[in-house]
Amino acid sequence: MIAVLRGFLWLTGVWLAGETLVVLLDLPVSAGVVGMLLMTALLMLRIGRFDDIAAAGQPLIGLLAMLIMPGVVGVFFVADDFAGQWLAVAVSLVVGTLASVLTTLLLMRRCMPAEPGTDATPGSRS
């Protein structure tokens, strides 16, 4: 339990450091993103106990869906604010996502080297 507290203090401290950088350098990025990159850098430099940070971080990541859920609730109450634009929203999301998935799949098939193992790649010409 103390490990979780220590890890949570790390996460909070790193977020605060991110916020400090955002304000000082006038970055157009959120404090969370800067904090995430800082956290990765700190772990690469072996600063901070990985076990503590993971003990606090894993449950938080598991709860991400619940933490964003209150934000989703709002969409049911803004229907009037965007009247007349819902078709544009729906078409752009549905068609745009189909197109971008297609592009990603084609790009990756182009760029990705064949799998090292024997794992199901009957189409690969070695």
- Which residues, numbered 9-38, are part of the site for another protein (CB under 8 A)? 11-12, 14-15, 18, 28-33, 35-38
73 makes contact with another protein (CB under 8 A): yes
Cβ neighbours of 34 (radius 10 Å)? 20
Picking from 50, 47, 16, the residue whose alpha carbon sits closest to that of residue 32 is: 16
Q: Which of residues 40-59 bind another protein (CB under 8 A)?
A: 40, 42-44, 50, 53-54, 56-58
Interface size with another protein, residues (CB under 8 A)? 81
Q: What would the two tokens of residue 35 be?
A: 């904090």
Site for another protein, residues 95 to 114, rule: CB under 8 A: 95-113
d(CA 39, CA 8): 12
**CB count in 10 Å sphere of residue 110:** 7
Task: Tell me the closest approach of the beta carbon of residue 1 to another protein, in angstroms.
Answer: 17
